Amino acid sequence: MNLVVGATGLLGSEICRALAAEGKPVRALVRTTSDQSKVSQLESLGVEIAVGDLNDPSSLDAACRGASTVISTASATISRQEGDSIQTVDLEGQLSLINAANAAGLSQFALISFSQSDLEFPLQTAKSAVEEHLKSSGLTYTILQPAIFMEVWLSPALGFDAANAKAPIYGSGENKSSWISYKDVAKFSIASLDNPAARNAVIELGGPEALSPLEVVRIFERALGQKFDIQHVPEDALRQQRESAIDPLQQTFAALMLDYSRGTVINMEKTLQNFSVQLISLKDFAQANI
């Protein structure tokens, strides 16, 4: 039985769908406050539902009972609910989940983290602490550190509005990043459960090519047949935003935007030798989202 935590989120729901499509047993941890339409969608796939919460260790013990592996995508950064925070979800909740998985004797714990930055901010501090706890737990672990998600950073929620040909450019817009689709991260998550190369491993993940934000805009312009209206956000403004942020979530988002402007390039050559994953290109993503 494969337990998925964060199962109603963007990545978690895709992992559940893909596992079910492969005929593998799936148990999804959902909260009483989870979107019931998303829960129903999971149930329609044949996913077993376990009601619990990262803030309730006893519910985690119950969810882990009878499972063999866990994949955790949970985070308070996007799909947070009232009372959620980086402290309670990304740190304390994940630590409790590792402890519950260890007590239940699970064979493997796959943690979805993110590509490390040289900036200090609350989310990275929490993720680093969880990664270290997992490494020292005695569990067989896989830590996946994907670069920036196409579906998140190239979405209207963050100002990238392909439908209306508008986009923000943070910093110079010339620094390259290895954009990756959450669908590919789901594939790696599942493949890691059966792959010896993923045992007790930290694996950085990126897409098939590194592209700057300005190159991304040009790809969308060609796909759309229309020039974009670009709004430039200077790097100094991003630094000031980070320095003035008080709330941990605001500090995190400000740091992530600054880090995004600086670029993150991941060399996938060795990883793709160990994993048979056909990566989605930015061009394919653009054509599917115009």
CATH number at residue 48: 3.40.50.720
pLDDT-based confidence at residue 78 (cuts at 50, 70, 90): confident
Per the domain annotation, does 161 fall within a domain?
Answer: no
Per the domain annotation, does 232 fall within a domain?
Answer: no
Per the domain annotation, does 211 fall within a domain?
Answer: no
pLDDT at 277 > cutoff 70: yes
Q: How far apart are CA 159 and CA 30, in angstroms?
A: 30
pLDDT-based confidence at residue 82 (cuts at 50, 70, 90): confident
pLDDT-based confidence at residue 158 (cuts at 50, 70, 90): very high
> pTM for the complete prediction?
0.95
Residues 6+ positions from 287 with CB-CB distance below 8 Å: 223
pLDDT digits (tens, 9 = 90+) for 105-122: 999 999 999 988 988 999
Q: Please give the DSSP secondary-structure letter assigned to residue 89.
A: I
Domain that holds residue 86: 2-147+180-205+266-279
Given this model, what pLDDT does residue 116 score? Answer: 86
Q: How far apart are CA 106 and CA 70, in angstroms?
A: 8
pLDDT-based confidence at residue 79 (cuts at 50, 70, 90): low
Per the domain annotation, does 69 fall within a domain?
Answer: yes
Q: What share of the chain is helix, strand, coil (3-state, %, to 5)?
A: 45, 15, 35
Amino acid identity, position 8? T
Provide the mean pLDDT of the chain. Answer: 95
pLDDT digits (tens, 9 = 90+) for 39-62: 999 999 999 999 999 999 999 999
Given this model, what pLDDT does residue 118 score? Answer: 87
pLDDT at 87 > cutoff 70: yes
In Å, what is the CA distance from 254 to each residue of 82, 121, 126, 247? Answer: 21, 9, 16, 11
* Max CA separation in the chain (angstroms): 56
Per the domain annotation, does 223 fall within a domain?
Answer: no
Per the domain annotation, does 253 fall within a domain?
Answer: no
Nearest to 121 by CA among 261, 256, 260: 256
Per the domain annotation, does 68 fall within a domain?
Answer: yes
Per the domain annotation, does 27 fall within a domain?
Answer: yes
Report the number of distinct structural domains present in the chain. 1
pLDDT-based confidence at residue 2 (cuts at 50, 70, 90): very high
